Structure 1
Amino acid sequence: MKASLIALFSGLSLLAAQAMADTKQVYGLHEKALLPELDLTLPAKLDTGAVTASLSARNIETFKRDGARWVRFQLAADGHEPRTLVRPLVRISQIKRRAGDMTPGDTAAYTARPVIEMPVCLGDSVQHIEVNLTDRSAFDFPLLIGSTALGEFDALVDPSRSYAHGRPGCA
């Protein structure tokens, strides 16, 4: 009797997990992401090991406007004209530095990055996500989408796939 109850519970758990997975969008490790406000499509890396999303930016400066904190920056994406953008500053994020980014004698284990909110479209879903600004020009992907934003997209990431959704289809 105990064994049949365990088998029944296991079967129901598997069915519930499958039903939950069926409602999620499956994306590849790399996808095209549309920044609708800019009418700009960028290659993005979907990284479940990163907590936050990061957008490649240069000449980042924070300032005050009418008592509120803002950030001015240039979008830095290969093959695209640099654009100067101004957005309200949501917060400053403390991002853990990778060991390879530190030089002997460095004591700062974290780096401060400004965070903005912006709409991003993956597949046919658009979400307003928080994005920290940093120079990603040394990386292949100017946009990294971390686990917090992936949760907002209700996403599952299949690392064996790339560009599973093709061009974003948000209206």
Structure 2
Amino acid sequence: MNRIVAALVLAGAAIAAARADTYGRHERVRVQATPGIEIVGRLDPAAPASLLAARDVKYFNRQGGMWVRFTIDNGGVLAGSRLTLERPLIRDQKRRQRDGSIEHRPLVALALCIGRAPIEAALSLSERSGYTAPLVLGAPEIARLGAVDAAREYTIEPSCGGSAELPLAPAAAERTPSAVPAPRGSRRFSCDGRQYCSQMNSRAEAEFFVAHCGPTQMDGDNDGIPCENDSRW
């Protein structure tokens, strides 16, 4: 019992110490995977959400749920500068661009190490180029870290005790199931690569594909109602 109490006290002290750290505007962040990878993160308390620049983003189906495969590139020239990961899809986010097109940004959870603080972050993946830092940590993640001094840079090296992937915290586990189940009544449908209304057999099937099968061409006005002009139903 004394050992358990001591362990809990030490864990609490470590968390408190990590939260007491003051971080700079930019910090090196380690993605906790096997193997891991270090990338530059911009800490922006004004950003409402967090974003990760990724390459080769692909949706795929695994055991009835939607997953995402993507590659992180830290811009290095040595071996280990790229890492490809697969994660369950939390939500498919849509962003309308200035040219009127729609950008799909899958939301996934990743274990990160910033300074001495291991956190589970919900990150929107974007394939757009030109980001100053490949990772932007917004208000939800910074609230779990501590203070940010925009006048400082690269103050704390990531040191969370190894590069192995961290287990999901309970809250993250609740919002990130290992497989996203299809809604009841739609189990007869499955993601098979179809994208167009002409390939659908019913409105229910079109709604399933838009909700669970990644980017499609069935909701052009982005109002959540697919195939509105299909005269078959």
Scaled by the length of structure 1, the TM-score of the pair is 0.72
User: For residues 88 and 45 of structure 2, what CA distance do their matches in structure 1 show?
Assistant: 27
Aligned position for 2:40: 43
Aligned counterparts of 2:29 and 2:104: Cα–Cα separation in 1: 25
Q: Counterpart amino acid of 1:53?
A: S
Name stretches of at least 5 consecutive residues in structure 2 with no aligned partner.
Answer: 1-18, 162-233
RMSD after superposition: 2.1
Deviation digits for residues 20-65 of structure 1 (CA, Å, limit 9, x no counterpart): xxx6432111111111214211111011221221112112111211
Q: Show the counterpart of 1:133.
A: 125
Are 2:55 and 1:64 aligned? Answer: no
Q: For residue 31 of structure 1, what is the aligned residue in structure 2?
A: 27
Higher-strand-fraction structure: 1
Partner of 2:155: 164
Q: d(CA) in 1 for partners of 2:56 and 2:122?
A: 19
Correspondence for 1:123 among 100, 112, 115: 115
- Give identity over the alignment, percent: 29
For structure 1, which runs of at least 5 residues remain unmatched after alignment? 1-22
In 2, Cα distance between equivalents of 1:125 and 1:35: 12
Judged with a 3 Å threshold, the aligned counterparts in structure 2 of structure 1 residues 81 and 42 are, in CA distance, closer, same or farther, namely closer
How many residues of Structure 1 are paired with residues of Structure 2 in the alignment? 139
Check the 8 A contact 1:136/1:142 in 2, yes or no. no
Find the counterpart in structure 2 of residue 144 from structure 1: 136
Q: Which moved more, 1:74-83 or 1:155-164?
A: 74-83
CA distance in 1, matches of 2:95, 2:22: 27
Greater RCO, CA 8 A, separation 6+:
1
Task: Tell me whether 1:92 sits opposite 2:92 in the alignment.
Answer: yes
Distance (Å, rounded) in 1 between the aligned partners of 2:114 and 2:70: 23
Superposition deviation, residue 91 in structure 1: 1.4
Provide the secondary structure at the position in 1 that maps to 2:141: helix
Aligned-partner SS, 2:54: strand
Task: Give the 3-state SS of the residue equivalent to 1:148 in structure 2.
Answer: helix
TM-score by length of 2: 0.54
**What residue number does 1:114 align with?**
106
Runs of 4+ in 1 over 6 A off after TM superposition: none
For residues 48 and 82 of structure 1, do their structure 2 counterparts lie closer, same or farther at Cα, with a shift above 3 Å needed? same
C-alpha distance in 2 between matches for 1:34 and 1:84:
14
